[in-house]
Amino acid sequence: MYYLTEHACIQNEHFEYTTPKGYRVLWALGAGKAFGMNPHDWAWTCTCTGFKFRKKCKHIEEAKKAQCTWDGHWDEGEVTKEGKCPRCGSDTIENTRTER
């Protein structure tokens, strides 16, 4: 058994986006708790009125296009010497998993 450490863009864990109209979109663990969603799930939320009623909106789709989803396990590229994402330049997180 051995441990394999891989990196991923921090935006996979937490991502905030502000639309041109000033709506705030958030992707995070437990982000939907205030809207009656499972607090242990990853969720998209938005401060717009449409999201409060429908639990989805065009602002979330806009934010998904802006989010970097680079993951060293699946995507090409290596973390920079400074520990930054090769795709967007954001910080990275380490994911350790066990291989048998």
How does pLDDT run across 35-92, given as a tens digit for each residue? 666 655 778 899 999 998 998 999 999 999 999 999 988 899 999 999 999 999 999 9
Lowest model confidence (mean pLDDT) among 1-5, 17-21, 72-76: 1-5
β-strands 2-9, 92-99 pairing: antiparallel
Residue type for position 58: K
pLDDT of residue 32: 64
Give the structural domain span for 79.
2-99
Structure tokens, 24 = 């705030």
Domains: count for the chain: 1
Question: What pTM was estimated for this model as a whole?
Answer: 0.74
Determine how many CB atoms are found less than 10 A away from the CB of residue 15.
21
The alpha carbon dihedral of 14, 74, 66, 42 has a sign of: negative
pLDDT of residue 25: 93
Backbone phi and psi for residue 61, each to the nearest 5 degrees, phi listed first:
-60, -40
Whether 12 shows a pLDDT value over 80: the answer reads: yes
